[in-house]
């Protein structure tokens, strides 16, 4: 354990933390504009600077290791003054309308906390090296006039999604974030995971659904229903409609990330052709019926088929979108109630090679470890991929 003094109070911390990780354990917040726990510390914005007694100059909390005996000041006049100056430089040409429209964005919150005004405007003419604007993506709006050049989008796309869509072009005050090739996000190879939107602290990258429907007024934590991975998500709603779905940072199987389906494919909920009650087709017409009636109808048809052609004339297909328990019940129903072994699941089509190989090597055709165990492994052998 390390003994460290923070803002005059002595604390003990485990070895191996950065200063910022230690501060988080105490719920002491310093502004971290270029940092996101899902990606490696970068140390470019310098807003997280703190004073450490005996050190020459200020140190950045996000990428400095905590050491025994450190005496740290997080909000001295010196560091607050540096933060205010740095924020003022970033806010010099930053559109004030963006701050008013989305006051809760991370960067906008920092401006408020350090009493710094954004002095730019959305109607200002584009500079000689223009900022990217892209309205062609189906889910993401890009307006780089709001970019604070934190590189979080570039890094999260590389480190978390492995997609390398973004690139920092040019240098100095002409630095511009844009797609690695072409003009649009889709030209750059975006697969719409939404990670860059989640991490963007300013709203330069934003969900189109939020721009259209407004910021959520309610959040509900739930599990994505698309597949069996069990990604934890936060569903944001406004006026009874979903405006966005964001990955939960502490989801054990997704750790703050989702695929395109879990992140953006939620409009089916209000699709006009979505059946909202059970239906039976009679004389070529679909008729709405009660659950009691439809269950009786199915039971009668199954009995009729089994009596006429035997139980093996029936097959049951279950789904990877069901839980393990639901799939277990489906096979019990097939074997015990219907009397057939004709039971299958769509997961077998995708995963039969992996399941067979894992059964041979590990003894069971399923994962034998959690995702966290993979991060802790000293050696990883990857087979069958390029
Ligand atoms: S949405 Fe995902 S894939 Fe697309 S640019 Fe952002 S991080 Fe990369
Ligand atoms: S687009 Fe957003 S995340 Fe990317 S560098 Fe600009 S401010 Fe940062
Ligand atoms: S958050 Fe530490 S330098 Fe940006």
Q: What is the DSSP string of 224-282?
A: -SSSTT--EEEEEEETTEEEEEEE-TT-TTTSS---HHHHH--GGGG-TT---S-EEEE
What is the structure's pLDDT at 371?
Answer: 79
Task: Check if 151 has its Cβ closer than 6 Å to any atom of ligand 2.
Answer: yes
CA distance 279 to 285: 10
Q: Considering only 217-221, 254-258, 354-358, which range has the smallest mean pLDDT?
A: 354-358
pLDDT > 80? residue 126: yes
What is the structure's pLDDT at 237?
Answer: 97
Q: List pLDDT tens digits, range 133-176.
A: 999 999 999 999 999 999 999 999 999 999 999 999 999 999 99
Best residue among 18, 30, 37, 45 to mutate for probing ligand 3, ranked by most atoms within 8 Å of CB: 45
Ligand 3 atom index nearest CA of 44: 3
Q: Please state the rounded mean pLDDT for residues 9-23.
A: 97
Q: Please state the rounded mean pLDDT for residues 195-219.
A: 97
- Per-residue confidence at 319, pLDDT binned at 50, 70, 90? confident
What is the structure's pLDDT at 383?
Answer: 80
Atom 4 of ligand 2: nearest residue by CA position: 153
What does the angle CA 322 – CA 328 – CA 329 come to, to the nearest 5 degrees? 90
* Cβ(102)–Cβ(74) below 8 Å: no
Domain segments of the chain as ranges: 2-91, 125-270, 279-347
Beta bridge partners of 193: none
CA distance 94 to 376: 42
What is the structure's pLDDT at 64?
Answer: 97
pLDDT > 90? residue 322: no
pLDDT > 80? residue 327: yes
pLDDT > 80? residue 351: no
Ligand 2 atom index nearest CA of 168: 5
What is the structure's pLDDT at 115?
Answer: 98
What is the structure's pLDDT at 69?
Answer: 96
Ligand 2 atom index nearest CA of 144: 1
Best residue among 37, 48, 65, 201 to mutate for probing ligand 3, ranked by most atoms within 8 Å of CB: 48
What is the structure's pLDDT at 297?
Answer: 97
Task: Check if 137 has its Cβ closer than 6 Å to any atom of ligand 3.
Answer: no
On average, the pLDDT of the chain sits at 94
pLDDT > 90? residue 366: no
What is the structure's pLDDT at 164?
Answer: 96
Q: Please state the rounded mean pLDDT for residues 10-21.
A: 97
Q: For 112, how many CA atoms within 13 A lie in the half-sphere containing its CB?
A: 11
- Per-residue confidence at 385, pLDDT binned at 50, 70, 90? confident
Percent of the chain with pLDDT over 90: 84
Q: Please state the rounded mean pLDDT for residues 339-348.
A: 89
What is the structure's pLDDT at 187?
Answer: 97
Q: Comparing 2-91 with 125-270, is the CATH topology the same?
A: no
What is the structure's pLDDT at 34?
Answer: 98
197 Rama sector, left if φ>0, alpha if ψ -120 to 50, beta otherwise: alpha
Percent of the chain with pLDDT over 70: 100
* Cβ(191)–Cβ(260) below 8 Å: yes
Q: Please state the rounded mean pLDDT for residues 69-96.
A: 97
Task: Check if 351 has its Cβ closer than 6 Å to any atom of ligand 3.
Answer: no
* Cβ(35)–Cβ(20) below 8 Å: yes
Q: Considering only 30-44, 211-225, 320-334, which range has the smallest mean pLDDT?
A: 320-334
Q: Please state the rounded mean pLDDT for residues 324-345.
A: 94
What is the structure's pLDDT at 326?
Answer: 92
In CATH, what number does 2-91 get? 3.10.20.740
Q: What share of the chain is helix, strand, coil (3-state, %, to 5)?
A: 35, 20, 45
Given CATH 3.30.70.20, say whether it is the number of domain 125-270. yes
pLDDT > 90? residue 324: no
Q: List pLDDT tens digits, range 307-316.
A: 999 999 999 9
CA distance 301 to 184: 54
What is the structure's pLDDT at 381?
Answer: 85
At a CB cut-off of 8 Å and minimum separation 6, what does 106 contact? 33, 201, 202
């Amino acid at each position: 354990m390390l003994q460290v003094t923070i803002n005059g109070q002595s604390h003990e911390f485990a070895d191996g933390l950065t200063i910022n990780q230690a501060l988080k354990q105490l719920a002491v917040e310093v502004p971290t504009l270029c940092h996101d726990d899902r990606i490696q510390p970068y140390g470019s914005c310098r807003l997280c600077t703190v004073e450490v007694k005996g050190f020459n100059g200020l140190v950045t909390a996000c990428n400095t290791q905590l050491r025994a005996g450190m005496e740290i000041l997080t909000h001295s006049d010196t560091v607050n003054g540096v933060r205010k100056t740095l924020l003022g430089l970033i806010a010099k040409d930053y559109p004030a309308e963006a701050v008013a429209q989305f006051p809760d964005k991370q960067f906008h919150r920092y401006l408020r906390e350090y009493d710094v005004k954004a002095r730019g405007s959305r109607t200002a003419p584009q500079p000689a090296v223009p900022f990217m604007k892209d309205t062609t993506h189906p889910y993401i709006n890009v307006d780089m006039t709001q970019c604070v050049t934190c590189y979080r989008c570039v890094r999260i796309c590389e480190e978390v999604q492995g997609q390398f869509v973004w690139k920092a072009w040019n240098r100095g005050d002409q630095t511009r974030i844009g797609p690695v090739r072409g003009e649009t996000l889709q030209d750059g190879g975006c697969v719409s995971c939404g990670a860059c939107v989640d991490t963007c602290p300013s709203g330069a990258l934003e969900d189109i659904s939020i721009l259209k429907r407004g910021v959520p007024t309610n959040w509900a934590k739930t599990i994505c229903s698309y597949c069996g991975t069990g990604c934890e998500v936060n569903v944001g709603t406004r006026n009874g409609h979903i405006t966005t779905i964001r990955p939960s940072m502490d989801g054990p199987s997704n750790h703050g990330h989702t695929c395109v389906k879990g992140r953006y494919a939620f409009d089916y909920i209000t699709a006009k052709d979505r059946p909202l009650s059970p239906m039976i087709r009679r004389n070529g017409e679909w008729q709405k019926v009660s659950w009691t009636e439809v269950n009786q109808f199915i039971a009668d048809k199954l009995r009729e088929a089994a009596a006429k052609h035997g139980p093996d004339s029936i097959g049951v297909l279950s789904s990877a979108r069901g839980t393990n328990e639901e799939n277990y019940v489906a096979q019990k129903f097939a074997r015990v109630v219907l009397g057939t072994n004709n039971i299958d699941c769509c997961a077998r089509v995708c995963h039969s090679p992996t399941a067979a190989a894992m059964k041979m090597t590990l003894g069971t055709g399923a994962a034998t470890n959690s995702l966290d165990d993979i991060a802790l492994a000293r050696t990883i052998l990857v087979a069958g991929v390029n």
